[in-house]
Amino acid sequence: MMETTTHRMRRVVDRRAIANGTKVTLQRAFNGGQLTYTAPIDVEGQTVNVQVDTGSSDLWLASKECKTDSCRGKEGNKVYLFDDSKSAETGKDFSIFYLSGSASGPVVTSPVTFGGTQVASQAYAAADQVDSQQLTNMNATGILGLALPANSVIQQDMFVGQKNPNNTIDDATKTGSLLTGLWQGAASGSRYFGVGLKRLPSDGGNGDSTLTFGGVDTAFVPALESMKWSSAVADSDEVTRKWKLYVSDLVVTVNGTQVQIPLSSTGAQIPLAILDTGAPLNYASSEFLNAMYGAWNVGPAGDGSGGYYVDCKLQMEISILVGSAIIPIHPLDANLKQSSTSGAVASNADGCIGAFQPFNSAGNQSDLPAEFVLGAPFLRSVYSAYSCDAILDNPVPGSQGGCVRPTVGLYPLYNTTDTYNQALSDFQKVRIQGQKLGDNSQIAGADDGPTGGFGTGAKIAVGVVVGLVGIVAIMVFLLLILKRRRAREEHLHGLDGGVGDQEEKDDLVHARGGSTLVGPYASEKERQEARQLAILHGHFVEDDVDPASLTPNNAGGQSTTASTSQAWDVDSAGYWEANAIRNQYRKKQQQHQDGRRSLATHGSQADTHFSSEEHELSESPSSALR
């Protein structure tokens, strides 16, 4: 790695700018349990995914030097880390903070290709420190900032002690903004890009999310002229850094009644909103959100998060006037279902949150020059376009340097009766009737996507259940083997007077009084059980004692010699039925003995077989469990 800031690689003047109509298909992923969008980019011959972020202006990639948790991957999924060994050093360092998370590392330059257009030498950060960025869930290596060049942290560092050219910069090695390189030499009036974002297919978001340069995606908007354009609002120093517009009104509809939410609760007379594709939620102050959610009798959660949880079946109708366009928000983008993806923000037991959340749930608002951040949930209800040219003034075609008048165009997707009624119908089908409007199988991280929608807790639970089922299955299998072995062992040993007979004799000893269970002081219940056990083994007390001598216990509580049983009524039907059972049992025993003698006489081969079986069973039955 060589090269310093004293060396400037000049742009190739005959290089063509990104072609009009260039369309980049965005991939849907998850950040904080909500949808985010990524695009492929090629740097130093390595193709990686980057989150598309209109709220920041710098390109950074997590390098192989990054060892923080955000770079390590989770749940068996790896983060692809960028190899910056061939990049040129600049001697500058980079550090950026977002609403949530941060990244830092050395600033380097490399050839970068995006949308089929190569920037010969682009400045970016090879981040070796990345914190609180869900790179695993996003399947991303870094972030592509598409806000205005003047907002670039790298550019600010490059011009310390010098006059910053802000949005008129024309050297891609001096700014982290890829727009500078992509638009070098582009004709005036063509330097804009459009963004169309889709929900999950199961929520009706069928089709591609796209990023289009020098044109619009007609799957979202009929033509560029259909959009309503407004000038991006500059900061107090009159430099425009972010795609920022005024918010003039916000109305909610509750039970058919429209309620205007006072914007004064934001703390500004006319609040500002930053359009930010990288934000997974919309953000505003708690004071404003208390007023807005209060229309549905919803307050902040009492769990310390300050977030707003909502019933998944609550149909929330919100319209907001941004710039010069009224944007009705799709109900499925106002009431959000949380993905079970690891890292998801909190939600209620039903799994839903309001699309607008307080700044304190994401980070510090003090550094933001706006009262709202309108993130991906808002931008899914509108097609947005961002221009470096004075679109409002119908710029004359021709090469023009710098972003002389940044403007933002908006086209509401649900502002007609038909489209809005369709949105309401989609909500009813998905949330009330439980239908799926499309297939999520190609969306990584979706609940029914290819990576599995189970979060960490769910995966652990499934693993525990599978493990327990496996253990139980093994135990049942071993017990069956043990039972089978013991049955064979008893059968074989019973034929030759072995263990089977001995166990039977032992049981009979207990039944006849050889145990304290039927001793002189045994209870009547214990005597009855012992007698029944003896009968089951084919033995009667009468076999050893004359029935006529059997007498009940005497009054003193002492039994006679035959006191192991009560006197048996030899004339009763029960007595003869029991004798019949005994005789059948003895007949079977005799048949077994005859069979054994027959085998001993006529089957030496059988004897050999039984001998081997006995040898196999000579081990303790408990060995099967080892």
User: Distance between alpha carbon 459 and the CA centroid of its chain, in Å?
Assistant: 9
Taking 3-state DSSP, the helix, strand and coil percentages for the chain, each rounded to the nearest 5, stand at: 30, 25, 45
Residues 6+ positions from 243 with CB-CB distance below 8 Å: 54, 147, 148, 232, 274, 275, 386, 406, 408
The secondary structure element, H or E, covering residue 238 is none
Q: What are phi and psi of 432, to 5 degrees?
A: -90, -45
For residues 530 and 537, give the distance between their C-alpha atoms in angstroms, rounded to a whole number. Answer: 11
Q: Which amino acid is residue 397, in one-letter code?
A: P
The candidate with the shortest Cα–Cα distance to 197, out of 49, 36, 380, is 380
Q: What are phi and psi of 208, to 5 degrees?
A: -95, 145
447: annotated active-site residue: no
276: annotated active-site residue: yes
Residues 6+ positions from 222 with CB-CB distance below 8 Å: none
Q: What are phi and psi of 248, to 5 degrees?
A: -105, -20
Catalytic residue among 53, 58, 157, 426: 53
The secondary structure element, H or E, covering residue 464 is helix 456-495
What's 78's DSSP letter? P
Length of the chain: 626
Catalytic residue among 128, 276, 333, 426: 276
Q: Under a CB-based contact definition with an 8 Å cutoff, are residues 555 and 561 in contact?
A: no
Q: Under a CB-based contact definition with an 8 Å cutoff, are residues 248 and 270 in contact?
A: yes
The token pair at 581 is 């059972």
Active-site residues: which are they? 53, 276
